[in-house]
Structure 1
Amino acid sequence: MVAISYPDIVKAPKALLHDHLDGGLRPATVVELADAVGHELPERDPQRLGQWFVAAADSGSLERYLETFAHTVAVMQTEAGLHRVARECALDLAADGVVYAEVRYAPEQHLERGLSLEQVVEAVRAGFEDGAAEAAAQGRQIRIGTLLTAMRHAARSQEIAELAVRYRDSGVVGFDIAGAEAGFPPTRHLDAFEYLQRENAHFTIHAGEAFGLPSIWQAIQWCGADRLGHGVRIVDDITGHVPSAGSTTPTGGSASAPPGGPVLGRLAAYVRDKRIPLELCPSSNVQTGAAPSIAEHPIGLLHDLRFRVTVNTDNRLMSGTSMSRELTLLTEAFGWGWSELQWLTINAMKSAFIPYDERLAIINETIKPAYAKLIA
């Protein structure tokens, strides 16, 4: 098999489901916006600042990783700042060959300078619309939907869920909760999830990154998540994989498996059988200690077992990454070719929170024709 080059992957259409707006700023933009609002940064040179973010996030701890966001969130407290960050996000993703993206952010984190929740949502929407229009004028089509995130350690999830429903015909496609998992189970936000289900709204939950199987089980069986944000620790319920320290199986027992193949526990089998999408973020998972390395990332096993695997960036600034870089790393680690990359891309589009016919149109009119040329 001829190795796939990074420039070729950049040109291929990609779909992205798990990308944080406050984790994808351009370093130069952070510096300029920090100057405008008087925020002190650890580095003022954009190149060194970008290196600082990656180094600070590369700690093996989710909690330490999350501390880097203090600097990006601080410069996203005005309508102009939010608009600029969203516009540049759209342009950067389009330049990377992303044709569909769901970008998430927590409106409650952008109120320090007097903005209302509604002003935050509208500023971000306008930024994405302007960025997508500029990209289209450059010959790069991209569609962006937003996920409104509630912080799992706070108490505003019901309010943010209602905001997501109110704006679901204005660019918002779903809801999410994020933040440190340990000590903040998703069941604390059951009222919000039950409300979203009554409103026929889509939601994903950060689960199975730092805390493990109980977090995944609660997200699915108690809260009714459509997708799992990360979900990488589902491999702790598959025999042949060494469970992470302190891992427990909340459901017990094993499900049947093909003769000679790995044995899936009840929870892993349920996730696979129900085709619950896993929003895997390889580089980020390594940084936070959820995976030992790219070569040892469970995505290889999960791909082979045909879970609904998707590849994502999580935080492009903190991981110094892009969709093309993530896919390049995986082709190098697992020997994957265009067929695997098409499978991953279609998985993501199948799992998107936009209407079925719109997902199908992107798959059939954009993704499949492009990959047919690459695979031929």
Structure 2
Amino acid sequence: MIGTNPLPNYIALQYFIGQNKYLKKIWLICSEKNSGINQDSTKEYAESLQKYFSKENLSPDYANDVQKVEFQEIIYITNIGSKKAIENQLEKIAKNSNNGKLHLFFTGGSKAMSAYSYYYLKEKFKNKFDASYLSARDWKIIFDNEKNIPESIADKIKINFDYLTELHSFEIIKNTEKHYCSSIEFIEIIESDEIEKFYCNSDGYNRDIFKPYDDHKIMEKIFHNIKNEDSNILKAAASDNCLNEEENKIKTDADRSKFKKKVDIFRNIIETLNYRPNETFMKIINSFPEDCRIYYYDSSEKPNFNTKIEYKKYNDAIEFLDGFWLEQYIKKINFKDNFDEILFNKELYKSSGGPENKFELDGVLMKGCQLIGVSCTTSKN
């Protein structure tokens, strides 16, 4: 029975196809859309499962001694609360079972759908019928005849992240794993208890200094300008007198206002609180590729802002400093554990539904059929 969460059905199919060499036929029972009673359809889940477990996709290990498993016509229930509607559709199973044994997996579906189906099929097949469900508490398939010893299948049944998202009708719209720089330096400063120095507002990483403005178009214009030797933003940022001189060269008040805004943003990055990065902060900066370092040392051995850096690389560097390093750090830790998949930066979207159907996972850990989602966030302060 297919409910709104198809994962238990995937688990059941993997388990029974793999365990029962006498299994011949599989019926998938799902709800059909019925707007009159506010009933959604689980058809897409049933079709996805049938396609995945079709003959073409079945592993040779799943072929029994006589023939491979045959999926029968999907059964659609028009009213999942109606005993009559359910029994009318389940009659197809009774007619096409060839007097064989029948097992009902009833984790999915509504309570009424499960109850009516169970008692109807039990009455039809009598001592040739049994059933089971997946216990969410301990990941065990529980059998009603109590002859089978329940076993946890959490690690035994595996599913990869790509199919898990596809099965739930989500699309991966962002599928990039950044490897901006090694997190070894962060591991070192964490282990040496220097992380507070790195985030010290006066001379460590300060979000208000390095992320003063969210408009990427304006930031790109600023960084494009300051790369030039005769940059008017660099000249204007030197002092208020220099700012006045550069403003006087601009014809309209509107353009002068836009120019001053850019200068103020750049001044914030280079001058706030007479900012001078500390040694711990610079240790991280110096671990970056050379063209991504936002500071460099001059002959006086004082860190200077790198005006030649491209904005994209500056932004990547800041994103790393702002918290992406934490994702990399977690990745290092998790590699020590036996996960089937360790993935990062997955943005998912489901076309049907509201804004809640779009979200991002900073980290994804797959273990058997279990997904652990990781969200990495640093506080504003």
TM-score range, shorter chain: under 0.3
Could you tell me the TM-score, scaled by structure 1's length? 0.23
User: Which structure: larger Rg?
Assistant: 2
More helix by share: 1
Higher relative contact order, structure no. (Cα contacts within 8 Å, ≥ 6 residues apart): 1
Could you tell me the TM-score, scaled by structure 2's length? 0.23
